[in-house]
Amino acid sequence: MNGTRTIAGVRVGDTLPPLEIPLTRTLIVAGALATRDYEDVHHDPSLAEQRGTPDTYMSINNTNGFVGRFVTDWAGPAARLLRLCTRLGVPNFPGDTMTLTGEVVAVDDDIVRVAVRGTNSLGAHAISEVTVRLPRGTGE
């Protein structure tokens, strides 16, 4: 995923290489703290249990960061994220793996829409749509 992707090389139906993210407690806590999400379910296992979950779980901000990284890794350094919209499903708990997959669903002028799905052993964690602007050619 090196280099710059240009709009000329992108077609509807193109798929992005999957990205597997091991879900550690450290990753979940650090992501919550980095985004200033101090909700206890993202860092305190016993309080998360009191709230009805078996463990701490990843925040939406952390999920969105990984979704954005996934698309920009594919698109290259000249790409610009314009919009990212995520609907959460099952939680991301420590000890699992989230796998991100994506497919180009629209290409219009220099704008690309990518459907992204994040799954873990429980099912669909995130369903996202990312809109990104790609350069038209070399040097843009």
If pLDDT is split at 50, 70 and 90, which confidence band does 6 have? Answer: very high
With residue 85 as reference, give the H or E element that holds it.
strand 80-88
How confident is the prediction for the chain on average, in pLDDT?
A: 93
Other beta carbons within 10 Å of 128:
23
Percent of the chain with pLDDT over 70: 96
In a domain, 37, yes or no: yes
In a domain, 139, yes or no: no
Q: Are strands 111-120 and 123-133 parallel, antiparallel or unpaired?
A: antiparallel
Other beta carbons within 10 Å of 31:
21
Q: Which of 60, 74, 62, 57 is nearest to 115 (CA)?
A: 74
In a domain, 140, yes or no: no
Query: Hey, CA dihedral for 94, 90, 38, 50, is it positive or negative?
Result: negative
H helix intervals, the chain: 25-34, 45-50, 60-75
In a domain, 12, yes or no: yes
Tokens 């954005």 belong to which residue? 68
In a domain, 86, yes or no: yes
Model pLDDT, residue 40: 85
If pLDDT is split at 50, 70 and 90, which confidence band does 2 have? Answer: low
| Dist CA 95 CA 120 (whole Å) | 10
Model pLDDT, residue 1: 46
Provide the residue range defining the domain that includes 29: 7-133
In a domain, 2, yes or no: no
| Dist CA 98 CA 64 (whole Å) | 13
Residue 114 is part of a domain; what is its CATH number? 3.10.129.10
- Arithmetic mean of pLDDT, 73-99: 97
Model pLDDT, residue 51: 92
In a domain, 96, yes or no: yes
- Arithmetic mean of pLDDT, 51-69: 95
pLDDT in tens, 126-139: 999 999 999 987 54
Query: In total, how many domains does the chain have?
Result: 1
Looking at the predicted structure, is the pLDDT value of residue 25 above 70? yes
- Arithmetic mean of pLDDT, 65-71: 97
